[in-house]
Amino acid sequence: MSEMRGPESPYNFAYLDEGTKRMIRRALLKAVAVPGYQVPFASREMPMPYGWGTGGVQVTAAILGRSDVLKVIDQGADDTTNAVSIRRFFAKTAGVATTTRTADATVIQTRHRIPETALTEAQTLVYQVPIPEPLRFLEPRETETRQLHALGEYGLMHVKLYEDISRHGHIATTYAYPVEVAGRYVMDPSPTPKFDNPKMDDCPALQLFGAGRERRIYAVPPYTRVRSLDFEDHPFRVQRFDCPCGLCGAEGVYLDEMLLDDTGRRMFICSDTDHCEERRAAGHVGTEGA
């Protein structure tokens, strides 16, 4: 049963023991069968703090095979601490190939972004989720939120959006924007910017969500309808940016604001570092690109 990397390795393939992986896979199968439904699972202690992606790491460990190519992003970037640590963790415990190129990856673990490059059927996107319950801030009782999900009573979710409009004049929720999956369950898409919500709809890739501290797994199977909640007179809209990426000139992508010096100079650049690098390699140059 145990599948060691080699006789000298103290770790099972991808760190978790096979029994645990099987337990997680069972939860994943149920999650795929009931899109958007939060499946409880016996989350394990991982060698990293909660909030660093313990849920995503467990899901990745459970689905990873020897021939997989892993990409890990954190806020769109491949080179931040969280992304680098998790990539190295799996390179070490599973010995799988890793990449920063979206097109080359078969498994992409992500924190807070969906890559700009369109995903394919051959890919699986694994989200790290801090708080899986979209109703949590309005209804603190877990027994009650489960009841609301079971009966499909989602009026409360609109109360939150109502509050947004009454306070700000428009729906001011910009991340973790609630979605309805396959016409049934309302789901928290994890703290991705609402800019990425349309990419979840009818996506060819399998999308898996793992919340380690809250012990929940949920999923959106390929080609599933994902609809962002809204009002008839305040329809869902994504963020728009006034200028293209300063480095690669890309438009219609999600941008990060960078402060350049202490006189307030700033530039906007692609949040998806791989997308930006590939465009620059192909010869695209933005206004600030060197």
> Could you list the residues that contact other proteins (CB under 8 A)?
138, 147, 151, 153, 155-156, 158-159, 162-163, 165-167, 230-234
One of 53, 76, 212, 248 is an active-site residue; which one?
248
- Smallest gap from Cβ 4 to other proteins, in A, equals 50
- Smallest gap from Cβ 148 to other proteins, in A, equals 9
**245 flagged as catalytic:** yes
By beta-carbon proximity to other proteins, the closer residue of 25 and 234 is: 234
The token duo for 236 is 């869902």
**243 flagged as catalytic:** no
By beta-carbon proximity to other proteins, the closer residue of 3 and 144 is: 144
By beta-carbon proximity to other proteins, the closer residue of 138 and 243 is: 138
- Smallest gap from Cβ 229 to other proteins, in A, equals 9
The token duo for 78 is 């491949």
One of 55, 212, 245, 286 is an active-site residue; which one?
245
- Smallest gap from Cβ 215 to other proteins, in A, equals 25
By beta-carbon proximity to other proteins, the closer residue of 223 and 231 is: 231
By beta-carbon proximity to other proteins, the closer residue of 44 and 227 is: 227
- Smallest gap from Cβ 181 to other proteins, in A, equals 18
**203 flagged as catalytic:** no
The token duo for 249 is 């000139």
One of 55, 76, 270, 286 is an active-site residue; which one?
270
Q: So which residues are the catalytic ones?
A: 36, 245, 248, 270, 276
